[in-house]
Chain A
Amino acid sequence: MIPSAIFALILVLSLFAARGRRTVTVWLHLAALIAVGALFAHHVTESLNLSF
């Protein structure tokens, strides 16, 4: 569900970008990047059996 939620966030972001809404798009893009980065970090720590 988390990956599809991130795709849904990117979908909302694309709708703002299509309308040329610069500020909202930049902030949502940053939020999506953080979400994708966090999911990647989770994947890496899990596959390496790391725990913090």
Chain B
Amino acid sequence: MDESTTNDPARESGRLAMLQWYLLHIEVAGICGVLIGAFFVQFVEKELPCPLCMLQRMAMMLAAMGPFLLIGRIRSTGSVGVETMARAYGMSILAAVLGLVMSSRQVLLHILPGDPGYGSAVFGMHLYSWGVVVFLAVLVVSGLTMIMSRQLHIRKCSRPDSIATRIISWMFIVVIGANVVATFVESGFHPFLPDNPTGYELIE
């Protein structure tokens, strides 16, 4: 092992860089949690997702892709510069803006008094309202991280590879793969999902 490197991103790059390393994991795991929650509503509460719900899932995955790229980059090269951080968080911001537009549209579709909304509420808010919160959180975190990028970028460490990193990485990939299958089963061989899905087209 190179003497000048360590397993701890904080040792070489400062405490704030260690915070950044944990923050990357929290961002990816948080969005994974939301997507797993959406699966829970779909399969346990048997509420089929509409096309806008699927679009918001896609935007959430793309919003998590920036931090996920940074984790992959740090694991493979041991460092991540300010330029890479800017690219990664730029990716997240674009996806979050697109997702915010989509979830805001769905909120506006059901904003009239007396409208019961689409699906049931989770902790008092519908899933598309939670979508607005998630995308706003991604925008705020990305903005703050880019402002602090000089202090937060990880200069040098020896390819950190903890069990938590592996679990979160695989969980993210598996959640995306599960969505590929679930969406194909729901839409069947139709090009688009129906506006008000009533069943799984492929198996019914």
* Interface residues in chain A, defined as those with a beta carbon under 8 Å from any beta carbon in chain B: 1-4, 6-8, 10-11, 13-15, 17-22, 25-26, 29, 32-33, 36-37, 39-40, 42-44, 47
Question: CB-nearest residue of chain B relative to A26?
Answer: B87
Known interface pairs A20-B73, A26-B91, A29-B91; A4-B187 also in contact (CB < 8 Å): yes
Do residues B54 and A3 form an inter-chain contact, with CB atoms below 8 A? yes
**Can you list 22 A-B pairs with a CB-CB distance of less than 8 A?**
A1-B189, A2-B191, A2-B192, A3-B192, A3-B193, A4-B183, A4-B187, A7-B183, A11-B180, A14-B176, A15-B173, A17-B69, A19-B72, A19-B76, A20-B74, A25-B65, A29-B95, A37-B98, A39-B55, A40-B55, A42-B192, A43-B52
Task: Provide the bound-state CA to CA distance between A36 and B91, in Å.
Answer: 14
Q: A18-B71, A43-B52 are in contact. List 15 more A-B contacts (CB 8 A).
A: A1-B187, A3-B54, A3-B187, A4-B180, A4-B183, A8-B180, A10-B62, A10-B176, A14-B172, A19-B76, A20-B69, A20-B74, A22-B84, A36-B59, A47-B195
Taking CB atoms, residues of chain B closer than 8 Å to A40 are 55, 98, 101-102
Interface of B, helix, strand, loop or mixed by DSSP = helix
Question: CB-nearest residue of chain B relative to A42?
Answer: B192
Do residues B173 and A43 form an inter-chain contact, with CB atoms below 8 A? no
Q: How many A-B residue pairs have CB under 8 A?
A: 103
Check: B94 CB closer than 8 A to any chain A CB: yes
Question: CB-nearest residue of chain A relative to B57?
Answer: A7
Task: Provide the bound-state CA to CA distance between A26 and B51, in Å.
Answer: 25
Q: Name A7's contact: one of B58, B72, B75, B172 (CB within 8 Å).
A: B58
CB of A41 to closest CB in B, whole Å:
11
Task: Provide the bound-state CA to CA distance between A47 and B57, in Å.
Answer: 20
Task: Provide the bound-state CA to CA distance between A4 and B192, in Å.
Answer: 9
Check: B105 CB closer than 8 A to any chain A CB: yes
Taking CB atoms, residues of chain A closer than 8 Å to B95 are 29, 33
Interface string of B148-181 (1 = CB under 8 A from A): 0000000000000000000001001100110111
Interface residues of B in 97-149 (CB under 8 A from A): 98, 101-102, 105
